[in-house]
Amino acid sequence: MNIIPFPARAEWPALLARPVQSTEQIEAAVAPILAQVRSGGDAALVELAKKFDKIDLESSQLQVNPDELDAAEAQLSDELKAAIRQAYQNIRLFHERQKQPVEKIETMPGVICWRKSVGIEKVGLYIPGGTAPLFSTVLMLGIPAQLAGCREVVLCTPSNHPAIYFAAKLVGVTKVFRIGGAQAIGAMAYGTESVPKVYKIFGPGNQYVTAAKMLVAKEGMAIDMPAGPSEVAVYADDSAIPAFVAADLLSQAEHGADSQVLLVSTSKKLLSSVNLTLSTQLSRLPRQEFAGKALENSKMILLDNQTDAIDLLNDYAAEHLILSIENAEEVADKIINAGSIFLGNYTPESAGDYASGTNHTLPTNGFARAYSGVSLDSFVKKITVQHITAEGLQNVGPVVEAMAEAESLEAHKRAVSLRLASLAEVNPA
């Protein structure tokens, strides 16, 4: 990776740009796929599976048979099943603690307001196929859906890896379909003869999947976030261990050629040391071709001081941010744009990807400036409730009347005035 020394702030936007294709170009390729699924249903899905995934399917084979889900467990080693179950427990515990008890607030005497959480009835989960079976994402999406009480959980994936099926059964997925790419997003957004239409779609994917999610969102479909190619930013100083830093960079780079990694430091010595071990570690990776291409889009940036580093990292708004520095917790308090933060030399990003408990479905491409990662809240709706007693209406009613009159909304005022008049008749002064 090239070291970029002391760039001027005016250069930061260009340095921090993600390696993505033109949005217009991608959407132009995806829109006809969505239209084909919307009009053609299952037949379109079969045709698109053959075209893009080179799979010959009948319409009756789109859904994975429950027996196949049951059989998946026997195809996995005891070690992997134990690991998945432990990850399940950790992720479930972290997300379970996100539940909020209903709290009734009396804003004025007799005016009581509260908010309740209700699980979204039908949700769709997308699990990419690609070059790695992301069964961990099944846990990350399925567990909060399970905790939220979503009644129907549909999973689409082009992968038939038994670990994906095992995880799907563990988290209570109701239906699994052999569908990938933009066509899977279309199937869940519009519904087909086999695939139920859902109310919200979750899950990461390549730029085409992300574009499909954005396009159906324009039509009114709720989505989790624009989660595209993975990325990591590492801020390291001389207290960091170069081999650890290099390993963290490569753990993201190996996702694919469109991934991006960024290393920021105020120490030239640290950057040089990481570069040396990076080359050695890369040569030993089975996925070195993917990682090598990702590194071509990646940068090491040398800065003058920690203030500049914090400002640059907040400008970048990384999906994953690793702080391998002496005052990591202090700096973490100053980070306002990031999907998830990892502190210290012994907190690899891969722990969050799999089993520490936090969710790994996070905003990429700078969307961490406005989006949070997936959580229990992502799978529920918040419904407000209020109850006003006779005394309460006498307290708040005049406030409402004055405001409604000022907005020239006479019917709004009258809805209160009629009630106040009836109370006055029952209880004359």
What is the SS3 assignment for 298-355? CEEEECCCHHHHHHHHHHHCEEEEEEECCCHHHHHCCCCCEEEEEECCCCCHHHHHHC
Residue 193 CB contacts under 8 Å (≥ 6 apart), including other chains: 41, 42, 59
Same structural domain for residues 236 and 134?
no
pLDDT, mean of residues 201-213: 91
Please report whether residue 156 resides in a domain: yes
Same domain for 70 and 209? yes
CATH number at residue 209: 3.40.50.1980
Q: Report the run of H or E that residue 3 belongs to, with start and end.
A: strand 3-5
Give the confidence band of 429 by pLDDT, cuts at 50, 70, 90. Answer: low
Q: Is residue 121 part of a domain?
A: yes
Annotated binding residues, written as ranges, equal 126, 183, 206, 230, 252, 255, 320, 353, 407, 412
Binding residues for substrate: 230, 252, 255, 320, 353, 407, 412
Enumerate the active-site residues: 319-320
Residues 205 and 117 in one domain: yes
Per the CB < 8 A criterion, the answer to whether 369 and 317 are in contact is yes
Length in residues, the chain: 429
> What DSSP state is assigned to residue 194?
S
Asked whether residue 264 is domain-assigned, the answer is yes
Measured CA to CA, the distance from residue 10 to residue 1 in angstroms comes to 22
Q: Say what the pLDDT of residue 354 is.
A: 96
DSSP line for 387-423: EE-HHHHHHHHHHHHHHHHHTT-HHHHHHHHHHHHHH
Tell me the DSSP string of 197-219: P-SEEE----HHHHHHHHHHHHT
Tell me: the pLDDT tens digits for 103-158? 999 999 999 999 999 999 999 999 988 667 889 999 999 999 999 999 999 999 99
pLDDT at 289: 83
**173-190: average pLDDT:** 97
Give the pLDDT band of residue 57 (cuts 50, 70, 90).
Answer: confident
Handedness of CA 148, 86, 80, 293 (dihedral sign): positive
- pLDDT value at 258 more than 80: no
Q: Which two tokens stand for residue 297?
A: 């889009």
Within 13 Å, how many C-alpha atoms sit on residue 349's CB side? 30
Query: Is the pLDDT at 297 greater than 90, yes or no?
Result: no
Same domain? For 86 and 203 the reply is yes
- Determine contact, residues 219/246, Cβ cutoff 8 Å: no
How many domains, in total, are found in the chain? Answer: 3
Question: Domain for residue 253, yes or no?
Answer: yes
Query: Nearest 10 degrees: CA dihedral of 404, 406, 409, 413?
Result: 40
- In a domain, residue 8? The reply is yes
Instruction: Show the 3-state SS of 155-171.
Output: EECCCCCHHHHHHHHHC
Residue 369 belongs to some domain of the structure: no
Examine residue 363 and state whether it is found in any structural domain, yes or no.
no
pLDDT-based confidence at residue 204 (cuts at 50, 70, 90): confident
Boundaries of domain holding 412: 389-426
The answer on 269 and 172 residing in a single domain is no
Please tell me the predicted confidence (pLDDT) of residue 121. Answer: 98
Q: Is 111 left (phi over 0), alpha (psi -120 to 50) or beta?
A: beta
Q: What is the average per-residue pLDDT within 191-217?
A: 94
Arithmetic mean of pLDDT over the chain: 94
Q: Is the domain of 179 the same as that of 72?
A: yes
- Which tokens go with 61? 């084979």
Task: Examine the domain organization and report whether 218 and 284 are in the same domain.
Answer: no
**222 and 322 belong to one structural domain:** no
Residue 279 in this model has a pLDDT that exceeds 90: no
pLDDT at 95 over 90: yes
Q: How high is the pLDDT of residue 55?
A: 85
Q: What mean pLDDT is predicted for residues 19-36?
A: 88
Q: How high is the pLDDT of residue 60?
A: 83
CA distance 395 to 419: 12
Let me know if residue 66 belongs to a domain: yes
Q: Residues 234, 220: one domain?
A: no
Task: Give the residue ranges of the annotated binding site for NAD(+).
Answer: 126, 183, 206
Q: Which of 165-179, 215-229, 386-400 is predicted least confidently? A: 215-229
- pLDDT band for position 1 (cuts 50, 70, 90): confident
DSSP class of residue 5? E
Question: Do residues 160 and 257 share a domain?
Answer: no
pLDDT, one tens digit per residue, over 58-90 is: 888 899 999 999 999 999 999 999 999 999 999
Q: Please check whether residue 395 is in contact with residue 108, taking contact to mean a CB–CB distance below 8 angstroms.
A: yes
> Is the same domain home to 301 and 170?
no
Instruction: Give Cα 81 distance to the centre of its chain.
Output: 25
pTM of this structure: 0.92
Residues 6+ apart with CB under 8 A from 19: 258, 260, 297
Dihedral sign from CA coordinates of 309, 310, 312, 316? positive
Laid out side by side, the sheet with 111-119 consists of: 105-108, 111-119, 380-388
Counting residues of the chain whose pLDDT is more than 90, the rounded percentage is 82
User: What pLDDT is recorded for position 341?
Assistant: 98
Confidence class for position 20, pLDDT limits 50, 70, 90? low
Q: Do 56 and 118 sit in the same domain of this protein?
A: yes
Average pLDDT estimate for 216-222: 96
Least confident window among 43-57, 245-259, 350-364:
245-259
> What is the identity of the amino acid at 135?
F
Is residue 200's pLDDT more than 70?
yes
